[in-house]
Structures are given as structure tokens and as C-alpha cells.
């Protein structure tokens, strides 16, 4: 999401954190509190004029969860412009469709781990080595 002014960007980000989509809530449950490979993620973070869905500053990684509006040509152009800005700021941007996240969250987490070189790094949950979903969480099928 692109916002023109900083105060408006921060306010919008706060609103987004208060009312996450179902997909954002599911992903957040999997990565919050260093549950995903011990990495610290923040959600709805203002970076320049944009708001990143999820950001891991340690890895300079942004994870975007895209719903139906991102399939429109104008939105795809904005996403490309936005991604170019974020890359110029030193971030890697990974995008996943809402359907993919809700259909197989563990697969999405494994894909992120492989992309950032964490494949084979044990889960932060010692009771389930190699399993990326937090204990008690189950995959949901859309």
C-alpha cells in the first residue's frame, strides 16, 4: 500500500494491524514471537511511502500476502513500482497469494525458509523438529 504522507502512513498501518485479514492473521500466528526459525517479524510496517505486510529487518525481508485486488493490471503495476522501491532500499520481497497461504501455510513457510537460506535450520519449537508451524497450529484449507 502506498501512502503520501508519513502521519497518514503510520495511522493506516495501525488500522491494518487492528483489523487483519484472515490470511494475515493466519500468517502472523505462524511467525509472531519468533515462532518461525527464531526470526523477528513485524506486521504492517511503514517503509518509506509504503506499508509492508510483514517485515523481518534482520534479513531485510518483506513478505506480502496478495488477495484478489492485486490481480488487476493497475494494482500489479503499483506492486512492481513498490517492489522496485523496496529492493532499492535493500529489501527482498516475497509475494504469496492468499489462497496459497490459506491452502498450505507450512509450504509457504518452507518456501520462505529456502529462499532466505534457512532450509535445514531447525524449527524454534524443539518438540517438533523440522515442523515450521507453531505447536497446536494446523494448516487450514481455503
Q: Is 40 domain-assigned? A: yes
Domains: count for the chain:
1
DSSP strand E in the chain: where?
A: 42-47, 50-56, 61-66, 92-97
Instruction: Tell me, yes or no, whether 95 lies in a domain.
Output: yes
pLDDT at 51 over 80: yes
Q: What is the DSSP letter of 127?
A: T
**CATH number of the CATH domain containing 19:** 3.40.960.10
pLDDT bin (cut points 50, 70, 90) of residue 16 is low
Residues of the domain holding 10 = 6-115
Nearest to 22 by CA among 76, 103, 94: 103
Q: 3-state class of 109 per DSSP?
A: helix
Residue 57 domain-assigned (yes or no): yes
Residue 31 cell numbers, joined: 511467525
Is position 127 within any domain? no
Q: pTM higher than 0.85, yes or no?
A: no
The string of pLDDT tens digits covering residues 55-106 is 999 999 999 998 865 566 677 888 899 999 999 999 999 999 999 999 999 9
Does residue 31 form part of some domain? yes
Give the separation between CA 21 and CA 27, rounded to whole angstroms. Answer: 10
Amino acid at each position: 500500500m502506498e501512502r503520501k504522507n508519513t502521519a497518514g502512513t503510520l495511522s493506516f498501518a495501525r488500522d491494518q494491524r487492528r483489523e487483519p485479514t484472515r490470511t494475515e492473521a493466519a500468517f502472523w500466528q505462524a511467525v509472531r514471537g519468533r515462532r518461525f526459525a527464531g526470526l523477528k517479524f513485524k506486521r504492517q510496517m511503514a517503509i518509506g511511502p509504503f506499508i509492508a505486510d510483514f517485515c523481518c529487518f534482520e534479513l531485510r525481508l518483506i513478505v506480502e500476502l496478495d488477495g484478489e485486488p492485486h490481480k488487476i493490471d493497475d494494482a500489479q503495476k503499483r506492486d512492481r513500482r513498490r517492489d522496485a522501491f523496496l529492493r532499492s532500499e535493500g529489501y527482498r520481497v516475497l509475494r504469496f497469494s492468499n489462497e496459497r497461504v490459506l491452502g498450505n501455510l507450512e509450504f509457504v513457510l518452507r518456501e520462505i525458509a529456502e529462499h532466505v537460506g534457512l532450509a535445514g535450520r531447525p524449527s524454534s519449537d524443539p518438540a517438533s523438529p523440522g515442523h515450521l508451524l507453531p505447536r497446536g497450529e494446523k494448516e487450514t484449507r481455503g
